[in-house]
């Protein structure tokens, strides 16, 4: 029996993909790496660490330890957060679903970004939240979803992922 619904965030709950991609592109300019939105879209859902490693590898470079802190910080600085909005009807939909199911959020974005989105748009909707800062292996690996199932104390047959 379905007991919970697990939602992705960027591109599912909020229209944010282009803003996230543009912010990453600006951050990578600081280390002389040019990337496009499409480059970032291919890595959609990855946590910061995986995205940075993949981007450096594609550019034929090796990231330094400082890049794993500096690049996400730069990305957050230039992210046009005020342009991010929920897709039409999402808050109303979540309100209805919350009456019948437990709701979870799984995102590859950092804790900082996810918390900002929750505070601005979705306070009180989600029973649990797993973000890209919570695990070493983020999406597309199943670890974030396994973590959500563990936190919900449910089996995979009791949930659906949107």
Q: How far, in Å, CA of 125 to CA of 95, rounded?
A: 7
Give me the CATH number covering residue 31: 1.10.150.240
Q: Which domain holds residue 36?
A: 17-82
Confidence band for 138, pLDDT divided at 50, 70 and 90: low
Q: What's residue 35's pLDDT?
A: 93
State pLDDT tens for residues 4-40.
999 999 889 999 989 999 999 999 999 999 999 999 8
Pair (31, 75) in one structural domain: yes
The two structure tokens encoding residue 87: 């897709």
Question: Do both 46 and 108 map to the same domain?
Answer: no
- Report d(CA 58, CA 52) in Å as an integer: 10
The number of beta carbons lying within 10 Å of the beta carbon of residue 145 is: 18
Domain end, chosen from 35, 53, 82, is at 82
Per-residue pLDDT at 98: 97
pTM, 2 dp: 0.83
76 and 113 together in one domain: no
Domain end point (choices 82, 102, 117):
82
pLDDT digits (tens, 9 = 90+) for 103-113: 999 988 888 88
Q: Are residues 101 and 78 in the same domain?
A: no
Residue 137's nearest CA partner among 14, 16, 53, 24 is: 53
């Amino acid at each position: 029996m379905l007991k919970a619904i697990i939602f992705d965030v960027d591109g599912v709950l909020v229209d944010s993909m282009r803003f996230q991609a543009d912010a990453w592109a600006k951050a990578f300019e600081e280390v002389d790496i040019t990337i496009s939105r499409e480059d970032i879209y291919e890595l959609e859902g990855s946590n910061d660490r995986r995205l940075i490693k993949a981007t450096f590898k594609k550019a034929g470079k090796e990231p330094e330890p400082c890049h794993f802190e500096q690049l996400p910080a730069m990305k957050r600085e230039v992210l046009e957060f005020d342009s991010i909005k929920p897709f039409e009807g999402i808050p109303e939909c979540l309100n209805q679903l919350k009456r019948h199911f437990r709701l979870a959020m799984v995102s590859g974005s950092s804790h900082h970004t996810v918390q900002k989105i929750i505070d601005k748009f979705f306070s009180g909707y989600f029973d649990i939240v797993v973000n890209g800062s919570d695990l070493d292996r983020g999406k597309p690996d199943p670890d974030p979803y396994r973590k959500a199932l563990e936190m919900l104390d449910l089996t995979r047959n009791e949930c659906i992922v949107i």
